[in-house]
Amino acid sequence: MNKLLLATLFGLSLMSTSAQALTLTEARQQGRVGETLSGYLAPVAQDKETLALVKSINDARSESYQQLADSNNLPVDEVAKMAGKKLVARAQPGEYVKGLNGKWLKK
């Protein structure tokens, strides 16, 4: 019995944590996050998993925006705002976007 339990626990520990982690698509579909006109994702829900996802996505976006800004001689804020407009426009029905008034809207 102990060997079976240890083998099961060992097998579970080998599973990728990313396979268990919340994805951006899941978070959008579950209404946990939404797009903003600033170009950055914002949490709708305030749980630890959602906040960690938002930070990870926004860190990657910030780096990408900086690279685009540098290569096009543009201010990074301008690049982020251009991306924000596209991301809000591309949000799927049922997903949240933050309007100009700062309130969440469900598309």
Domains of the chain, by residue range, sit at 26-102
- Can you give 21-35 as a three-state secondary structure string? CCCHHHHHHCCCEEE
Cα–Cα dist 25/27, whole Å = 5
pLDDT tens per residue across span 21-66:
899 999 999 999 999 999 999 999 999 999 999 999 999 999 999 9
CA angle 93, 95, 98 (to 5 degrees): 120
Cα–Cα dist 44/35, whole Å = 10
Q: What's the predicted TM-score (pTM) here?
A: 0.79
Q: pLDDT value at position 20?
A: 56
CA angle 9, 30, 21 (to 5 degrees): 25
